């Protein structure tokens, strides 16, 4: 027995392994100040900052006039908009504090500060002012009094500490004598409670220039900054592998023409932090290692779980009361030696071919079994409508991606219109009509070899410049044609409002192909309808929510039939035509108006065939004014309601005559309501002539029913918006 996939081949999209790059992103720590040398501490970021402190004596650098440096913190998740807070009063001095480094547990900090506090802070620019390292422990939620590093000196500075994860190793910068020149990097180890004599990291790391702001990664990689020649600017970030090779400059945009320093990164060298004055002031930046984006983005493939099952060897004797039956493992049973079946969801199914005794209905034997692995396409998947409107935000969702073999770090989007974004779900508004190619790339975290992988998919989206003032209501429809091919197109609910269809109403819904909508009424004899009227009658409606007359062709419940009309309309050059869903009529009896709420009446139709006019007359007879009084009372009771008055005729007489007659009658009813105090902004009278019969015009009773006035209530748009908001 074989299991063959139908309609689509199951493909496994291979991840791309491209050229790596770095990306930097600004942060927005409040209030704005000069911030530098960030480092992770638990779920926060600790950094040096030159910022004003409320309630503390204002000490400033005598040379720059700026506040002295202190250690601040902000929650990691709040880097985009968080408020900085002082790390701790216990380790804050009147002089410069920071930068800092923590062990992996976060309960030990080593930080830089001025060794001495002069009697007058204005003396801080004297040569005697040197920096030293100090330790503090977090005990019972409080930092202990700082303890000096035993190799601090009053002859040179010891600064910019980087603690190892276990707190037993320390790398720092110093201008102590005997180095390679300028400021060098040194190492010291904690042995038996004491720190070993500092060891210069040697000429491979240090040079005649200044090496500062080291960061010792847990895997032994060393990052630091230097002003040595060959960089992009003044201070540049370098990276030295644990293998002992020569350090290399980090690429742009990590390095810039400014001072780039304080680089730190996570265990996988994927997400990091740094600071830079490339824009004029020291700012903290987020850093991310990534791949060159959107290099290989094949068109995404729709999942298909359809299979064909066939028994090649028919073992049954026709003279016996035996027959084949497939049990497909998901509760589906199909009679016969062949079966075509579409599973609803991925999974492992056991398909079994049974031989059944047709006289008893019992199992005679199981001829064979087959395990079927139903899998989704392994790909980044873009969930989005096929068609959207200009200027209206649409959700683009990566949540349906099937990437079980990829530890996704982040999703990034190329929106096809020059825009780019990130996130598993984003919102985007296209400004210009056209056909755009969306690209979604899922970038994974590094594998065991440290390399990054990404999976990328693409799909098209059509943007139409219509209904700019309306919210998007696009719905994607799929159906299977006679050849078994799955087709899809988009339609938009008509009319557009906050109305939700119940399941029963959805079963009664119909579809139409809307050619266009217009704020001005268009005669059905208009030349633009000349060719299409040879194929379909034009249907005119008024949409009170949009405040537009709509012109459409065809009405059907069957989507396959509607698709054929849709294609024909496109051939006739109505390029902006689209399939719309017509909500079923919500008929309301005149006698029920007194018992309904405004929301009950929203989008309801009151049909009145008992409002009669004289022969070829547009004046409402006095005998029928009480019916209009009921309408007036309803409008007075619910100021949020608006009303469209629709007048209809039978087919006796010419089209133009009946249209004019019905318009006159609708206007007559409208005038009566205006006379009774209903505001003109709340009502509109429209005559449709013989366009919308509800009965057979070949019979007298049918013609009587077609001569009618209909009242369509709707809650005005701002009231609907308020109700939805509440």
Domain containing 46 — which CATH number?
A: 2.120.10.30
Please indicate, yes or no, whether residues 575 and 496 belong to a single structural domain of this protein. yes
pLDDT at 459: 94
pLDDT at 76: 86
pTM of the model: 0.56
Buried b (16+ CB within 10 A) or exposed e, 266-282: eeebbbbbbbbbbeeeb
Please indicate, yes or no, whether residues 442 and 488 belong to a single structural domain of this protein. no
Domain of 524?
474-582
Per the structure, the count of domains in the chain is 5
Buried b (16+ CB within 10 A) or exposed e, 429-447: bbeeeeebebbbbbbbebe
Please indicate, yes or no, whether residues 180 and 115 belong to a single structural domain of this protein. yes
Q: Is residue 17 part of a domain?
A: no
pLDDT at 54: 61
* Matching residue, tokens 């930092």: 143
pLDDT in tens, 408-431: 999 999 999 999 999 999 999 999
Please indicate, yes or no, whether residues 668 and 625 belong to a single structural domain of this protein. yes
Please indicate, yes or no, whether residues 344 and 442 belong to a single structural domain of this protein. no
Q: Is residue 465 part of a domain?
A: no
Q: Is residue 382 part of a domain?
A: no
Please indicate, yes or no, whether residues 137 and 29 belong to a single structural domain of this protein. yes
* Residues 184, 200 contacting (CB under 8 angstroms): yes
Instruction: Assign residue 363 the CATH number of its domain.
Output: 2.60.40.10
For residue 699 the two structure tokens come to: 């019979």
What is the rounded CA–CA span in Å between residue 442 and residue 457? 9
Please indicate, yes or no, whether residues 363 and 508 belong to a single structural domain of this protein. no
pLDDT at 116: 80
Please indicate, yes or no, whether residues 572 and 592 belong to a single structural domain of this protein. no
Return the C-alpha torsion angle 518, 521, 524, 529, nearest 10.
Answer: -30
Please indicate, yes or no, whether residues 414 and 346 belong to a single structural domain of this protein. no
End residue of a domain, out of 402, 417, 450: 450
Q: Smallest Cα–Cα separation from 470: which of 434, 433, 496, 431?
A: 496
pLDDT at 559: 62
Instruction: Assign residue 519 the CATH number of its domain.
Output: 3.30.70.1070
End residue of a domain, out of 550, 582, 614: 582
Please indicate, yes or no, whether residues 678 and 625 belong to a single structural domain of this protein. yes
Q: Is residue 40 part of a domain?
A: yes
Alpha helix (H) residue ranges in 558-624: 559-571, 598-601
Q: Is residue 468 part of a domain?
A: no
pLDDT at 723: 41
Please indicate, yes or no, whether residues 432 and 558 belong to a single structural domain of this protein. no
DSSP reduced 3-state for 329: coil
- Please list the residues that pair with 579 across neighbouring strands: 491, 513
Please indicate, yes or no, whether residues 79 and 169 belong to a single structural domain of this protein. yes
Phi, psi (rounded to 5 degrees) for 613: -125, 160
> What count of Cα atoms within 13 Å lies in the side-chain half-sphere of residue 683?
25
pLDDT at 123: 47
Beta strand 486-494 with 474-480 is antiparallel
Phi, psi (rounded to 5 degrees) for 720: -65, -40
pLDDT in tens, 150-176: 999 999 999 999 999 999 999 999 999
Instruction: Assign residue 590 the CATH number of its domain.
Output: 3.30.1330.60
* Residues 384, 461 contacting (CB under 8 angstroms): yes
pLDDT at 627: 83
| Regions of the chain with pLDDT less than 70 | 1-18, 53-65, 118-128, 466-509, 558-560, 583-584, 609-615, 717-726
pLDDT at 10: 31
């Amino acid at each position: 027995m074989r299991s063959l996939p139908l309609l689509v081949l199951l493909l496994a999209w291979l991840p791309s392994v491209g050229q790596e790059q770095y990306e930097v992103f600004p942060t927005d720590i409040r209030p704005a100040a000069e911030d530098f040398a960030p480092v992770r501490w638990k779920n926060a970021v600790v950094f040096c900052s030159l910022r004003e402190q409320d309630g503390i004596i204002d000490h400033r650098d005598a040379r720059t006039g700026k506040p002295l440096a202190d250690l601040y913190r902000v929650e990691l998740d709040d880097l985009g908009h968080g408020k900085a807070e002082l790390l701790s009063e216990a380790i804050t001095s009147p002089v410069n504090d920071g930068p800092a480094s923590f062990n992996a547990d976060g309960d030990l900090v080593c930080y830089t500060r001025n060794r001495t506090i002069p009697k007058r802070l204005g003396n801080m620019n004297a040569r005697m002012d040197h920096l030293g390292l100090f330790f503090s422990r977090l005990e019972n939620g409080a930092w202990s009094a700082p303890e000096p590093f035993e190799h601090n000196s009053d002859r040179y500075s010891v600064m910019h500490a980087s603690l190892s994860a276990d707190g037993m190793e320390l790398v720092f910068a110093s201008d102590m004598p005997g180095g390679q020149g300028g400021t060098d990097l040194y190492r010291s180890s904690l042995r038996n409670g004491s720190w070993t004599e500092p060891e210069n990291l040697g000429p491979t790391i240090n040079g005649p220039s200044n090496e500062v702001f080291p960061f010792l990664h847990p895997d032994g990689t060393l990052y630091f900054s230097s002003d040595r020649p060959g960089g992009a600017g003044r201070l540049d970030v370098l990276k030295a592998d644990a293998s002992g090779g020569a350090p290399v400059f980090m690429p742009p945009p990590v390095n810039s023409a400014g001072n780039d320093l304080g680089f730190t990164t996570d265990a996988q060298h994927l997400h990091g932090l740094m600071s830079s004055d490339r824009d004029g002031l020291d700012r903290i930046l987020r850093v991310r290692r990534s791949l060159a984006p959107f290099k290989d983005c094949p068109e995404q493939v729709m999942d298909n779980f359809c299979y064909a099952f066939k028994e090649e060897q028919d073992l049954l004797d026709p003279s016996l009361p035996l027959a084949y039956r497939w049990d497909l493992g998901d509760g589906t049973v199909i009679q016969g030696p062949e079966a075509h079946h579409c599973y609803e969801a991925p999974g492992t199914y056991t398909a079994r071919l049974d031989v059944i005794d047709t006289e008893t209905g019992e199992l005679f034997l199981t001829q064979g079994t087959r395990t079927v692995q139903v899998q989704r396409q392994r790909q980044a998947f873009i969930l989005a409508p096929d068609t959207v409107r200009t200027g209206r935000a649409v959700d683009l969702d990566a949540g349906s991606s099937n990437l079980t073999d990829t530890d996704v770090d982040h999703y990034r989007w190329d929106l096809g219109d020059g825009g780019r974004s990130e996130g598993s779900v984003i919102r985007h508004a296209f400004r210009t009509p056209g056909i755009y190619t969306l690209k979604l790339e899922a970038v994974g975290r590094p594998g065991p070899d440290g390399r990054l992988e990404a999976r990328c998919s693409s799909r098209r989206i059509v943007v139409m410049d219509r209904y700019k003032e309306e919210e998007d209501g696009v719905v994607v429809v799929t159906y299977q044609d006679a050849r078994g091919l799955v087709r899809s197109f988009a339609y938009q609910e008509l009319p557009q409002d906050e109305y939700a269809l119940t399941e029963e109403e959805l079963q009664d819904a119909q579809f139409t192909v809307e050619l266009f909508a217009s704020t001005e009424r268009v005669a059905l004899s208009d030349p633009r309808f000349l060719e299409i009227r040879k194929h379909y009658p034009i249907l005119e409606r008024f949409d009170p929510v949009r405040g537009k007359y709509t012109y459409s062709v065809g009405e059907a419940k069957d989507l396959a039939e509607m698709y054929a009309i849709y294609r024909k309309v496109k051939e006739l050059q109505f390029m902006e035509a689209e399939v719309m869903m017509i909500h079923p009529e919500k008929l309301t009896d005149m006698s029920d108006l007194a018992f309904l709420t405004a929301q009950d009446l929203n989008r309801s139709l009151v049909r009145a065939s008992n409002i009669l006019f004289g022969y070829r007359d547009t004046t409402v007879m006095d005998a029928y004014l009480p019916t209009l009084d009921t309408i007036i009372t309803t409008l007075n009771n619910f100021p949020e309601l608006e009303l469209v008055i629709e007048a209809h005729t039978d087919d006796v007489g010419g089209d133009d005559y009946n249209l004019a007659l019905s318009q006159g009658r609708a206007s007559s009813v409208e005038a009566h309501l205006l006379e009774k105090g209903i505001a003109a902004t709340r009502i509109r009278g429209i005559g449709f002539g013989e366009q919308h019969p509800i009965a057979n015009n070949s019979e007298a009773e049918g013609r009587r029913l077609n001569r009618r006035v209909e009242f369509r209530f709707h809650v005005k748009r701002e009231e609907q918006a308020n109700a939805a908001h509440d």
